[in-house]
Structure 1
Amino acid sequence: MQLLTEKLTQADVARLLSDPSTENRSETARKVSAQYAETGLGMKERALIEDIFRVMVKDVEVRVREALSDSLKDNPDIPREIAVSLANDVSEVALPIIEFSDVLRDEDLLEIIASKGEDHQQAVARREHVSENVSDALVETGNEKVVATLVRNDGARLSERTMNRVIDAFGANKEISEPMALRSELPLTVAERLVALVSDKIRDHLVTHHAMSADVATDLFLSAREKATVGLLQPDTNLRDVVELIDQLHRNGRLTPTLIFRALCMGDTTFFEAALAKLADIPIANAYRLVHDKGGKGLEALFEKCRLSRKMLRVCQAALEAARDMQLNSGDDRVRFRQVMIERVLTRFEDGFDPDNLDYFIAKLGRQAA
């Protein structure tokens, strides 16, 4: 084959396309594509090769078009019309270009999603980068396999609204909910919904597979869910995210006294203050002043307004004292805070309390407060 660096002529183009052998035409597609990727081609040579591509995308043999697609999938310089034509072809031809080509724009991908089937849609979902708009369209297909592929792709951007739609529609499908939970970035509210979803499944499994009473199973799953929920809260979590989480918990009946107390036991005074503000229906700034009233009357009145048990009041006061001491002496260290808080409880309130079993203590307080 005459090298393109020696310049293609119209006669060369005709000769390359005249061989009726499918294998030869497929090989020609690969070789011409490789030459097109090289630097140093003149404008005429590039234009001639592009003319070859325009003919090849209409070749009657799928193998030829497939070879062309596979050879051009990583080339960012091919004309968009060629990429679009290949992307709208049969699956064997379209999938490499759809999945790998940077030439395709969002509008091209949206058209493919709307007009093609599952194979094409899954190829879109596998792309290295998927925009929020394209992710929305993929979720709109309602195809579980497509959505599962999408949520497994950490390069796909999903808005919080879209993530919630996925949970609403496919939360019961572990092929979707599990990879969703493993994504590198999740809004706090979405993570909490996944925690609740998994806990519900655990409870149902305990009841149906282990001859466990519904009450005992509920106690176990609530404890697991609340531990996981508190674990979502990090020291750098901003107040807006905390408030959104508390709103969601309250709206779904999951802002329980034991959850609030558990967060405080882990040193999260921001969650504690915002949660009490929500229950009392007052501004967070007001709750903050009441919680940290040195005379103690503020917290007592806030507990009464929130209808929280006085049995938890003294323990919360001890935890708040520990939090203030930690801020002065140890900084932001949750493990150390937990130890200090338990020491306060041991010395003041709980004879025989096992410091390694905070879960039991919280559950006991919850039962007493009920």
Structure 2
Amino acid sequence: MNDHEQDLHSLLKLALDKSIEGREQLTARIAQLSLEREHMLSDQERDLIFEILDKLIHEFELPIRKRLADRLSRNPAAPRALVIALANDEFAVAQPVLLRSTLLTDEELISIIHHRSRQHQIAIARRRDLSEAVSDELVGTKDSDVITALLENTSARISEATLAYLTEQAQHIDSYQEPLVRRQDLTNDLAMRLYWVVAANLRAEILASYDIHPTALDDALETSVLEMADDLRGGGPNLEQTAADLARCMAREQQVTAGMLIKTLRQGQVPLFEALFEEWSGITQPRRTEILYGSGGEGLAIACIALGVSKQDFATLFLLSRSAGSGGQKTSPGDLARATRIFDKTKREDAQHVLRSWQRVPAFQAAVRDLEMNKTKPSRG
């Protein structure tokens, strides 16, 4: 029996096996044969094999296809025809292949971008080391979620012309601004254009939400952007410093309140929220992060009691700050219940003493602690 007859015999035997394992083996064998003899196949024969594979795969139940896709996505020697078929499957199956498989060419990725769902497009946007050609096609979808995912993918290569276009679009689409600012391939000229766009948008939001004089705000924003221009020449922008400058400006114009913090968090301005909390409470880094986002919320409860915040505003701040500090994860009702019990049990006078200790210079507190510890140690002699 020659090789050709052996191949036909093995395929026939597998075709008669209706088990899940038999279906998987038949699919893999057809794909492997197409790979081994690809140079001998006409375009029509290649299309026919792809069609057979596609039909075979869709005989499998969804969990089996997902398992197959996950396994083959990590295998650089997997049959390409089978990988292509899985990449074009429904998203739950295609996702691992689109994210990880190195076997998909730019042409195949572009075809999927044009013919499959936006979920497929977002998965492609998150692939490592995307080419400029694929990035351009993703931007061509004009879908803001797809483009934001691409911008957040720092390994993706994006042409300067496309980055210039997206910088212009950032004037109207806020979600582009932060990932653009963080891209290392943004030229200095584009970075400066983007900083002015961000400053203008932030100015509009602050003036619409807070009672602050535009001149004072413009002074703070202009100074911040010019300082960022200096940072570009010396190693990159300091976004935390910009938020701190704005917070100081706002605190000079009006009293910081819980309502102001809540409004800032709801607008998604987390660095500004943190800087305003620091102005309001007098708690500096690194303790500020521990108070705002520490597990259980005890620190935030004590700070809010000391500052005269209502229980309702504390609960709102607790929930919003948990979301901001944990990647958008929701807080359970049990977490809120425990935090409000702490709030109910703590006296304001006691909370004010604790807050005052948190406001002190860390080096002074460390010296006091060291002295107290030395006093408690037994003397030698």
Q: Could you state the TM-score of these two structures normalised by the residue count of structure 1? A: 0.50
Q: Which protein is bigger by CA-based radius of gyration?
A: 1
